[in-house]
A = this chain, B = another copy of it.
Amino acid sequence: MVKLDQLDTPVAVVDLDRLEANIAGLQSYLDRYGIAHRPHIKTHKIPRIAEMQMEAGAVGITCQKLGEAEVMADAGLEDIFLPYNIVGEAKLQRLVALARRVRLSLTADSAYTVRGYAAAAQGAGLELSVLVEFDSGAQRCGVQSPQEAAALARQIARSPGLRFGGLMTFPHTEESDPFVVETRRLLASETIPVERVSYGGTPTMWQAHTRSELTEYRAGTYVYGDRKTMTTGAMSLEDCAFRVLTTVVSRPVPERGILDGGSKTFSSDLSGLEGHGLLIEYPEAEFYGMSEEHGYVDFSRCQRRPEIGERVTVIPNHVCVVTNLFDEIIGVRQGEVEVVWPVAARGKLR
Measuring CB to CB, which residues of chain A are less than 8 angstroms from any residue of chain B? 8-11, 42, 64-65, 84-85, 87-88, 90-91, 109-110, 112-113, 135, 139-144, 247, 249-253, 256, 258, 260-261, 263-265, 267-270, 291-294, 296, 307-309, 320-321, 324-327, 347, 349-350
Decide yes or no: A326 and B309 within 8 Å by CB, A91-B8, A140-B258 being known contacts.
Answer: no
Interchain CB contact under 8 A, B349 and A326: yes
Given the complex, which residues of B lie within 8 Å of A291, measured CB to CB?
140
Copies in the complex: 2
State in angstroms the CA–CA spacing of A113 and B258 once bound together.
Answer: 13
Interchain CB contact under 8 A, B270 and A144: no
Interchain CB contact under 8 A, B268 and A350: no
Given the complex, which residues of B lie within 8 Å of A10, measured CB to CB?
349-350
Interface centre among A141, A264, A320 (most CB of B within 10 A): A264
Interface centre among A143, A144, A253, A291 (most CB of B within 10 A): A291
Q: Which residue of B lies closest to A309 (CB)?
A: B87
- Besides A9-B88, A143-B252, A267-B267, 15 more A-B contacts (Cβ < 8 Å) are A8-B91, A9-B350, A10-B349, A87-B260, A113-B308, A139-B256, A140-B252, A263-B267, A263-B321, A264-B349, A268-B268, A268-B270, A292-B321, A325-B349, A326-B347
Decide yes or no: A250 and B350 within 8 Å by CB, A293-B64, A296-B140 being known contacts.
Answer: no
Given the complex, which residues of B lie within 8 Å of A294, measured CB to CB?
140-141
State in angstroms the CA–CA spacing of A269 and B135 once bound together.
Answer: 27
Interchain CB contact under 8 A, A250 and B141: yes
Interchain CB contact under 8 A, B326 and A325: no
State in angstroms the CA–CA spacing of A11 and B88 once bound together.
Answer: 14
Given the complex, which residues of B lie within 8 Å of A112, measured CB to CB?
307-309
Q: Which residue of B lies closest to A43 (CB)?
A: B292
Interchain CB contact under 8 A, B320 and A265: no
Identify the 9 closest CB pairs spanning chains A and B, nearest first: A268-B269, A8-B90, A112-B308, A268-B268, A85-B249, A141-B250, A64-B293, A10-B349, A87-B309
